[in-house]
Structure 1
Amino acid sequence: MDAVVTVPGSKSLTNRYLVVAALAARDSRLRDPLRSRDTELMARAVGSLGVGVEDAEADWILRPGALRGGSEVDCGLAGTVMRFLPPVAALADGDVRFDGDPRARERPMADLLGALRSLGVEVEDEGRGTLPFTVRGRGGLRGGTVVLDASRSSQFVSALLLVGSRCSQGLTVRHEGGPLPSRPHVQMTVEVLRDVGAVVDDSVEGTWHVEPGELNGLDVQVEPDLSNAAPFLAAAAVTQGRVLVPGWPQSTTQAGDLLRDVLDQMGADVSLDRDGLLVQGTGELYGIDLDLREAGELTPVIAALAALSDSPSQLRGIGHLRGHETDRLAALATELNRLGGDVTETEDGLLVRPRPLHGAVFETYADHRMATAGALLGLRVPGVLVADVATTRKTLPDFPGMWRRMLTAEGDVPAAARA
């Protein structure tokens, strides 16, 4: 295999840009944003709150206005929608109801809703601490200091920071609890806020302060989604092939950039230059002992690689994945063992002992990253059938087509670029 795979824009950045553009004082243009289920849900949600969202070929133009209530937000299974928008809804002039897919009603929300209540926001959830709930917007937030435990999701911190500049007194957010997962995502939020002119002080570990003030509009090119590149680059390691992902940033706040070091440690040749990130398989796959606390979204693909490696792997720091689209630790252990693997859940991760694998149905539990992990395993294990591969539309609009083009070297970059 020798392929070039152009990965669509980052979901994490696209949805953060949509939120800050909705809160800005002037119009914004997002160039080549990701258009997938999660981002379309976010765009429709901010539109329902009174923000103009216009298509301009591949771009989105946002025209902010007074935030209004009286709407219902469909969160689907998107953590960014269900967590980033309740604080925004508190700035609206009426009630906003939130609901989503059945599994979304199981995802943790109580700590964020408690933080909003401590800021004076009325939230009606009948004591569930989960979807569905209603935020009773009163047209503004005073702000101040809020203390919460974000050990179950760093999105709780990001959600509050995103509205900090719209609080009349600014906002100080302090995390008190277990280790904060996915810290690069909080740093991404901070950098996005600074891009639109917010003053953010993150000099004290576990504490963030956002000054009140006006946000500027954006005109930004959205980076490719580095986490969504993971199965394609891992495919090179699995097949002893070559995969180039163009546009890989030289520096980034995306947690998916950790993939470069991981693939290198697991035996692939990895190089980054101005053409992009190139991964070449060497015929070797080594086990790894890895703390994935800061990039938990890479776990399914890395677990699949570990199951195909020549020695055991320990994946640590990812207990919070039990509250994602599915309980990812249980799902990975169940499905890899169904193929003949030997995977054990630990308190905060997985122990993967390689075994000869065989074909079977690989269930995906409505989780896009389970589906991409199953596709990766199918490159080496005959007879793997990935159930409900369409769930990948959550973050990749055409994963099956991209996978097929990669395997047939029908990339969208001329062959000369791969020389």
Structure 2
Amino acid sequence: MTLNYAEEDADVAQSAEMSGAPTQAIQLLLPSDEGLPTLDEQQSIHEEAVQTAQDSGPNLPSDSSSQLSSSISASNPGNPETFQRASICRIKVVADLVAVFMDSSIMNMTLKMDFVNERAVDDAGVSREVYTAFWEQFLEQCEGETERVPRLRPDFSEAEWQVVGRIWVKGFVDHGVMPVKLSIALILACINGIDSVDTDILMSSFLNYLLPIERSAVEKALQGTMDESDQEDLLDLFTRMGSHFLPPENNMKSAIEIMAHKAILQEPKYIVDCFSTPMSLVKLKLPDKKSVLSLYEIKKPTGKRVMQLLETTMVVLSQRQQVTLNHLQRYVKNADQAKAEKILRFCTEGLLLIPVELHSMCHVHTVLTQNFEFDNILSSNYLEMDII
């Protein structure tokens, strides 16, 4: 199966180059990045930040100051530091990307990346795969089920946690890459403050954080329909969270909300504070709860959404080709979220919802119909990039 990406508008790219803007910024014009800052808006954000720095004086955090100064130098098209390349080792993508982003000025550079010993040209696809691989490995070290929450670790100081925030911002702004498994309540707190997280969002994130059996027990407790087995499961959860007894029924809802606040917001408060410095750069585009929730909803791949992105370059299909296309569409449409994510990553080197063009329908037919080969390919996690 040979896949192409929709090409960016050539006039826009030429305009970006003539203005001295980083060429990667044209990624913001993709349909998948709708709602992200345009070049003019980014410049406006930088100018506003500079004015804020002048008004605030020495009270600004040092990290913000370095970002502002590098922003000013990056606006100069003659500055050779506005472009940077980085080689990342796939098996230690977290450590390598953290090292790249230690210099906060990287936020204002055009960053091109490749994987060590993998032959591929970074026409956005490799960078998407790097960011996706980073979050995949990083989230393995976080806690939770459907939504995950980072925890303090001995090898990460304030500098490393701020770097992770920069990686979130850079991947999001440049390529629309966003780890949807990172707790919604946590990200909302990072961008708009803990006070912006209301009880509904907190409880939704908490339920998605819990194991299925714990989630079922909490839901029944809130509904007042617990049986003896549910009480045992709930007591195990309270014990894990630091309490060794169940609260009285008339205080159950309040106790669960306190437990949710502790797990999702209080314990990672230091991380939230570190993330908030770089994530303030996207606050103008994600100013409230509604915008963050909408972003999460748009970015979550589903079988139906991925199926709608499939396109064929052939104007007229033979009967066999049409049957094959129909089979592929059914296969993708019926995929659950986990499989939809794998299909999307297999096709686009990331979790970015962009059109996918199909060229070789015969090969698609072979892959999909012989011994569930496509399922085996998706489950193998073999994603080495070796096509130039």
Please state which band the TM-score falls in when normalised by the shorter chain.
Answer: under 0.3
Higher relative contact order (CA 8 A, sep 6+): 2
**Larger helix proportion, structure 1 or 2?**
2
CA radius of gyration, larger in: 2
User: TM-score, normalised on structure 1?
Assistant: 0.26
